[in-house]
A and B are shown apart, each in its own frame.
Chain A
Amino acid sequence: MKPNGNDPLVMIDNDRHLFKVSRNNFTDPDVFVKERERIFSTCWLYLGHESELKKPGDFVTRVVGGRSILFNKDRQGNIRALFNSCPHRGSQVCRERKGNAKSFQCFYHGWVFGQDGALRNQPGEESYGHDFKNDPDSNMRQVPRLESYRGLYFLCYDPEAIPLVDYLGNAKEYLDVIFDQSVDGMEVIGGTQEYAMNANWKLLVENSIDGYHATSTHATYLDYLKSMEGGLTNVALSGVGKDLGNGHGVIEYSAPWGRPAGQWVSLWGDEGKKEIDALNARNEKLYGKEKADRIAYKNRNLLIFPNLIINDIMSLTIRTFFPQSPNLLHVNAWAAGPQEESAAARKFRLSNFLEFLGPGGFATPDDVEALEHCQLGYRNSQEVRWNDISKGMGLEQPAMDDEEQMRAFWREWSRRLTGPEQIRGERT
């Protein structure tokens, strides 16, 4: 029998301000299978950014929600997402990670497809029925749904899904604040950080929007900032955590580090100050002081359910990740910045990124260590059964170091896995 097989996935006690998540959710193969069916086959999933496909013919191949996807731009400039499988025998048609192509040929039997996935020709055409090419099943299949918001392309494998803008709901406004940093448009900067963790993917969801762990997990990063001449302002770490609905969550807060989006630190020098001042003045003119200040001085760790993180912090990162098994996840992370940014500002942005973020940074590796050791700790989940996500429960406005934004995730996750009739984890 499975450990904790009869436990609810999530147990909520509003009277005692307790929010408990079963550790079984991080290890159980049945949960993993259900997630593929009820989350990764029905939610909008981040595929890529429009700036990754600059010219007609540009393509990128990527695994999204367990499927192999060809993301490309056709001659007319339409952005598409095709299942990267040959309709003939199933081989991956495009075997390159990125590039530019007028057509795609499957090497197995030589079938050639257009940028729209339509079969153009195949060796021995005369041996097929006369309308073979007109059969949609002869083409590479398009993903059922592909929609974008602010240059971010999402796909969905459920043809009946609600439109992306409705799915994003209250998170849209935060995406606007982040993407309004640029007037010419944001771009993904060259170079992808592709890494992995021996941990359940939901641990990285929690960690990416966790304002509570910084001082202990990231002690050495904070030491580093403190020791660096001009690396910090005297702004305090302070802000709020929010449930945005539909499983989305955010923490929004002030912090002492420099922000290329508008918070200058003396390390960036007088030239840097001029540039940041001009940026803030431009934003004030465009958006008014309140919003301009929010763009400049507030950090945002934003979760778009289930697995997209946009962290607008000391740099701007787009991070998405997928489970390979209950205890292994793959991460793809990018840096993004305004197209109009100066070379000097771009350099500071990337330097800030690498100090903290990514598998070679001064902070992320310690997060990975923490998540991997959580996963190892779940060996004991038959006896030590519950994770606690209660911090800030019952507060009118939970703080950025509370856990309301994680509860937002778990409420939606639980709803999708068990159906509404079963959120009876709630103890009465």
Chain B
Amino acid sequence: MIAATEKGSDAGTLTRSEVEDFLYAEAELLDEWRLPEWLDLFTDDATYQIPPTDIPADASPDNNLFYIADDRYRLGERVKRLMKRTAHAEYPHSKTRHQVSNVRILSQDDGQVEVACNFSTYRTKDDFSNIFFGKLLYGLEVSDGKIRIRSKRVVLDTNGLRNQGRISIIL
């Protein structure tokens, strides 16, 4: 699915369906646990963040406790960890299904594309299944004909993680 990161049109801007194709391809990589390939979708200075649900959605992880606030280095380490058998929380791997919908391009300027979409991700581990849902905010970057993720922020619509327990998968 690397082709999905190829930017189709020549206009220097992305269409919504190009963004959708990209997000669907990302979801597929996650559901198939092809995490090293998924990591390749990110820029070298990328961030991946999940704020807690009792502070404003635009709060900073520098002075607020998040669930996850990875820079590119720690995101790489997260992937490395999740691919090991000793990442007990995800061994055997959960079954997941990442859904994205309501995709909107909020702005695009000079190859920097801000995207919002809704998401629901289903996870099954052992005898338990649960759902994460909310909004995804992406900062995408288009360069050399490729789409890459500069930032991904997961805004959960739950109050905490009482039903999900933990976020050991990638959302």
Contacts and interface: CB of A to CB of B under 8 A. Distances in A.
Interface stretch (B18-26, B64-72, B108-116, B141-149): B64-72
Contacts of A353: 65
A191 to B, nearest CB: 4
A132 interface: no
B134 to A, nearest CB: 14
B106 interface: no
Interface centre among B51, B61, B67, by most chain A C-beta atoms within 10 angstroms, is B67
Interface stretch (B27-35, B36-44, B81-89, B95-103): B81-89
Contact of B61 (A98, A224, A350): A350
Contacts of A346: 62-63
Nearest to A216: B86
Contacts of B86: 219-220, 223
Contact of B162 (A196, A355, A372): A196
Contacts of A193: 52, 65, 67, 160-161
Interface residues of B, number: 39
Interface in A171-219: 189-198, 217, 219
Contacts, number: 127
A360 interface: yes
A428 to B, nearest CB: 41
A98 B159 CA distance: 13
Nearest to B50: A360
Contacts of B68: 354, 360
A365 B68 CA distance: 12
Contacts of B53: 194
Nearest to B89: A365
Interface of B: 50-55, 59, 61-69, 74, 77-78, 80-81, 84, 86-90, 126, 128, 159-168
Given A193-B160, A346-B63, 16 more contacts: A189-B63, A191-B64, A193-B67, A194-B160, A195-B164, A196-B161, A196-B162, A197-B165, A220-B87, A224-B77, A224-B81, A360-B68, A364-B166, A365-B167, A368-B166, A369-B168
22 contacts: A97-B54, A190-B63, A191-B52, A191-B54, A192-B54, A192-B160, A193-B65, A193-B161, A195-B160, A195-B165, A219-B84, A220-B84, A220-B86, A330-B162, A347-B63, A351-B69, A354-B61, A354-B66, A354-B67, A360-B66, A366-B88, A370-B88
Interface of A: 97-98, 189-198, 217, 219-220, 223-224, 227-228, 330, 334-335, 343, 346-347, 350-351, 353-355, 358-360, 362, 364-366, 368-370, 372, 376
